[in-house]
Structure 1
Amino acid sequence: MASRTPSLSLRLALGFSLAFFSMALLVAGIQAMLAERFGHLVTRMSMQGQTEDIFDGFVLDAERRVVGVELEPADSVGFDDFFANLKYRVLDETGRTVASSEADRRSMLAGRSIAEQPGFFGVVRLDGRDFFVGAWQREVHGRPYVLQLARSDRFELLAREALSPAITDTVLLLGTLSALIFALAGALAVRSVLRPIGVVESAARNVGGRNLAARLPEDRVPAEILPLVRAFNGVLQRLERSFQEQERFIANAAHELKTPLALARARVEAGLGGELDRAGVLRDLDVMSRQVQQLLNLAQVADPHAMRRCRVRPSDVARDVLDHLVFRAHRSDITLHLQESDVDVMLEADYGALFVLINNLVENALEFSPPGSVVTTLLDAESLSVEDSGPGVPIEYRTQVFERFWRAPGQVRSGSGLGLAVVREIAVAHGWSVRCGESATGGASFLVCWRP
């Protein structure tokens, strides 16, 4: 049974949810860590802020000595209402308390000299209770004063008990609203992403053999999916081109076979009158047989993946081809010559396809070579070439000779028009190049290069 793959929308929704809850856990973890590890630091920073209000409230006498503290009403509330949990002392350079938030004027750091107190912060036990006590120093008109500020754990506990319910309710409310907004934004984002994909899917469903010219729309497609759409359009373009080439190929093949079939049928219906008629029918059958064979060769090399590649020595293949064509060459009074280099060349190639390639090149040379001439096959480490002494190929036609069913204007020789097209297909399938040129004797030269 095929496994079910989650849809893209479900994956995006799960991703949004996972991201939201991961962020929530991360924030909660950071807050817990800060509360646990930096609680004392936060308390100290808070108390240090309170010292500024006390320093600003110093009362000086005529000799500019601190004799007391007058706080603003808003700043004195804590010391008035929570005197048992929040208190301060101001000491001069002799250690004498010159101002206090309560009647008790004892130093809260009795075990430390006045010089050791500035910068102190820690937990001190006062009257049987633990207080956070800090000491800060400031000079007033050249005289140093030390401010001792104490805050009890009870003060913080009362504040926490008062604020915790409000904070909890606020966090829950904000968390719920955030989750709803996150879900809505995620749904809108998923819809905006999937809408152009739906348009592309609808267009893809309409593509078929009758309308290969259709292309998938690329407008408003997400950047991550656009390369896939463009690649698919490229496939459609190649399919359209291949389909058009196939249609032309079928039409040309039918046209090429129609004439010799009609002639052979006419001769058979009229009755063979002698050896000339019999020879003509056999000649037409030979032409059709060769065309059919070239069509089969072309169909076989059309798919490069169907080739069976192995280690092949091209010189051995060339010898097999020349042995196969030696009778035809002898009948036409043409000499076949193989010229090899001293280097032993090995290729990764399909033996049958390489045989057809060399065979078609040599057959083409035999077709256009005059009697008494030589067709030379040259082999080296880089390439293979077949040269003849025929009329050659004009420069303007040297690229067209590899097209299917192409014949030079005015040519009256029989032929399928497929031999060189098959050569090009085999070369391309193996990653080789092939081109047409001129031989040393003025004839045609076909060069196949298998080294880049």
Structure 2
Amino acid sequence: ASHQLRTPLQALRLRLENLEHDAADGIPADSRDLEGSLAEVARMSRLVDGLLILARAEQQLSAPIQTDVAELVAGRIDAWSAFADDQGVEITSTVSLGSNACITTGNLEQALDNLLSNAIEASPSGGAVVVSSSTNSSGNVLLTVSDSGGGMTPEQIDRAFDRFWRPAGAGSGGSGLGLAIVRGLIETDGGSVELAPSASGGLAVLMSLKSC
């Protein structure tokens, strides 16, 4: 984690030093340095936020409670619908009513926020994100978030949960913590997370949520 924070800090320091030198010489600020500095600050904020979420999940400060998964999913889809519309992506849920799981308050919401954000951004305009569910013989809820993006190779899937890992060619906006956070939050409550190709050729994230 120290290396991941040190790199953007060094980049930020260089940009700020450039601005300082320009100011001392009476040269107007370079907008690229200003924009770059703000981007590095935003990146560090995402890294720190992600690390704090992981730390809280590992400490498990509160006990899981019975949760209506369908209601929770509906709330998160409603929260992300404007972003999905803006991206030209349809987002729907086929989660069965009465699907209940034992979840720590806030954990599944945070996991879904990460997954829905990723899925919407990965899907092309005209694509779709679907949240679906089933129940296994143990009564556990199997919750799946599927997108219609480019998916991942088997090699990428093997590394996708590694902290700070990002696929080659990924933009500079992410922290590489999203899926690690999802797994940490779900496993804290005794669940599990797997990745697989979606029916549309994108990525499907399969979460097994324990019953109470």
- TM-score where L is the length of structure 1: 0.40
Distance change (3 Å), C-alpha of 1:289 and 1:336: farther
Distance change (3 Å), C-alpha of 1:281 and 1:371: farther
For residues 266 and 324 of structure 1, the distance between their equivalents in structure 2, rounded to whole angstroms, comes to 38
5 Å-filtered alignment, 1:352-363, equals 352-363=106-117
Match in the other structure for 1:273: 30
5 Å-filtered alignment, 1:188-337, equals 253-271=1-19, 272-274=29-31, 276-304=32-60, 306-337=61-92
Distance change (3 Å), C-alpha of 1:278 and 1:369: farther
Task: Confirm whether residue 350 of structure 1 aligns to residue 104 of structure 2.
Answer: yes
Task: Confirm whether residue 390 of structure 1 aligns to residue 146 of structure 2.
Answer: no
Match in the other structure for 1:339: 94
Q: Match of 1:323, as an amino acid? A: D
CA-to-aligned-CA distance 1:274-301 (integer Å, 9 cap, x gap)? 3x54433332222221111110110011
Distance change (3 Å), C-alpha of 1:329 and 1:262: farther
* RMSD of equivalent CA atoms: 2.2
> Is the Cα contact below 8 Å between 1:432 and 1:451 reproduced in 2?
yes
Deviation at 1:413, TM superposition (A): 2.1
Q: Match of 1:299, as an amino acid? A: A
CA-to-aligned-CA distance 1:292-350 (integer Å, 9 cap, x gap)? 1110110011124x233222112222233233333443443333222222x41122211
Task: Confirm whether residue 376 of structure 1 aligns to residue 130 of structure 2.
Answer: yes
Q: Match of 2:160, as an amino acid? A: V
For residues 323 and 435 of structure 1, the distance between their equivalents in structure 2, rounded to whole angstroms, comes to 25
Deviation at 1:399, TM superposition (A): 3.1
> Is the Cα contact below 8 Å between 1:311 and 1:348 reproduced in 2?
yes
Distance change (3 Å), C-alpha of 1:325 and 1:254: farther
For residues 15 and 144 of structure 2, the distance between their equivalents in structure 1, rounded to whole angstroms, comes to 41
Q: Match of 2:192, as an amino acid? A: S
Q: 1:425 aligns with which of 184, 200, 207?
A: 184
Deviation at 1:451, TM superposition (A): 5.0
For residues 58 and 133 of structure 2, the distance between their equivalents in structure 1, rounded to whole angstroms, comes to 26
> Is the Cα contact below 8 Å between 2:64 and 2:189 reproduced in 1?
no
Deviation at 1:446, TM superposition (A): 0.6
For residues 12 and 83 of structure 2, the distance between their equivalents in structure 1, rounded to whole angstroms, comes to 24
For residues 282 and 320 of structure 1, the distance between their equivalents in structure 2, rounded to whole angstroms, comes to 31
Instruction: Provide structure 2 residue ranges, at least 5 long, that are not aligned to the other structure.
Output: 20-28, 136-140
Q: Secondary structure at the match of 1:399?
A: helix
> Is the Cα contact below 8 Å between 2:101 and 2:210 reproduced in 1?
no
Match in the other structure for 1:4: none
For residues 344 and 389 of structure 1, the distance between their equivalents in structure 2, rounded to whole angstroms, comes to 27
CA-to-aligned-CA distance 1:425-449 (integer Å, 9 cap, x gap)? 2222212121100111100101012
Q: Match of 1:364, as an amino acid? A: N
5 Å-filtered alignment, 1:403-414, equals 403-408=162-167, 410-414=168-172
For residues 256 and 325 of structure 1, the distance between their equivalents in structure 2, rounded to whole angstroms, comes to 29
Q: Match of 2:109, as an amino acid? A: F
Task: Confirm whether residue 444 of structure 1 aligns to residue 197 of structure 2.
Answer: no
> Is the Cα contact below 8 Å between 2:69 and 2:100 reproduced in 1?
yes
Distance change (3 Å), C-alpha of 1:281 and 1:362: same
For residues 78 and 163 of structure 2, the distance between their equivalents in structure 1, rounded to whole angstroms, comes to 27
Q: Secondary structure at the match of 1:261?
A: helix
Distance change (3 Å), C-alpha of 1:286 and 1:337: farther
Distance change (3 Å), C-alpha of 1:373 and 1:403: same
For residues 278 and 336 of structure 1, the distance between their equivalents in structure 2, rounded to whole angstroms, comes to 36
Distance change (3 Å), C-alpha of 1:282 and 1:379: farther
Q: Secondary structure at the match of 2:116?
A: helix
Q: Secondary structure at the match of 1:296?
A: helix
* Larger RCO (CA within 8 A; separation ≥ 6): 2
CA-to-aligned-CA distance 1:65-90 (integer Å, 9 cap, x gap)? xxxxxxxxxxxxxxxxxxxxxxxxxx
- TM-score where L is the length of structure 2: 0.81
Identity %: 33
Q: Secondary structure at the match of 2:171?
A: coil
